[in-house]
Amino acid sequence: MAKIEQEDKLNLAPKKFNMWIFVFTSFMFFAALTSGFIVYSGGTGHALGMKLPSAFIYSTIAIVVSSITMQLASKAARELQFAKQRLLLGITIALGVAFFVIQIYAWSYMVNQMGVYFTNPNASQSFVYVFTGMHLLHILAGILLLANTMWGSYSGIPQVKNLFRMQMSSIFWHFVDIIWIYLYVFLLLNQQ
C-alpha cells in the first residue's frame, strides 16, 4: 500500500509543476493586459473616466472569503475530516458562483446605468470588460476544478490523490483571488 502511495506521489509531481507553469503564464497574461492599458492610457491621456461599480467591492469580499474557506477545506482534508472538507469546498464553490454573478451584475450596471459599453469611444473603459472577462474565465475554470475535487472526495479516491486535488485546487483558487485583488486595485487606481 505504501509503495502504491509513493508511486502516486511521483506520478502527480509533474502535474503540479504544470499547474505552476499555467499559473505563471496566466499571471504574465494579466500583466500584459494591464501593461497594454498603461500604454494606451499613457499615450492618449485617457484614464477610465468612470467610477467602478460598487458591485466590485462585494465580489472582492466574496472571493477573499472563498480563499479562507478553501484554506480551511485543505486543512480539513489533511486532518481526514472529509465531511468538513466537502462542506467547505461547497461553500467555496458557492462563493465562486456568487463572485461570477456579481461580476455579471456589474457589467449589466455599467451598460444600463452608466452607459459604458465594451465598444466605447474611450477604449480604456473597454479594458474593464477585458480584465473582468478574462478573470471570469479563470473563475469558471476554478469552479470546475473545485467541483472535480469535491466529486473525488465523495467517490472515495485514495487520500494521496484527495490531498493532491486539494493542493491543485488551492494553488489555482488562491491565484485567481490574488489576480482579482491585483486587477481591482489597478482599476481603482486608474478610475476617473
Per-residue pLDDT of the chain (192 residues; tens, 9 = 90+): 455 555 555 567 778 888 889 999 999 999 999 998 888 887 555 577 788 999 999 999 999 999 999 999 999 999 999 999 999 999 999 999 999 999 999 999 989 888 777 777 677 788 889 999 999 999 999 999 999 999 988 888 888 888 999 999 999 999 999 999 999 999 988 876
Longest Cα separation, the chain: 65
192 within 8 A of 49, measured Cβ to Cβ: yes
User: Which amino acid is it at 184?
Assistant: Y
Please state the pTM of the whole predicted model.
0.87
- The CATH class for the domain spanning 2-190 reads mainly alpha
55 within 8 A of 102, measured Cβ to Cβ: yes
Question: Cα–Cα distance between 143 and 173 in angstroms, integer?
Answer: 8
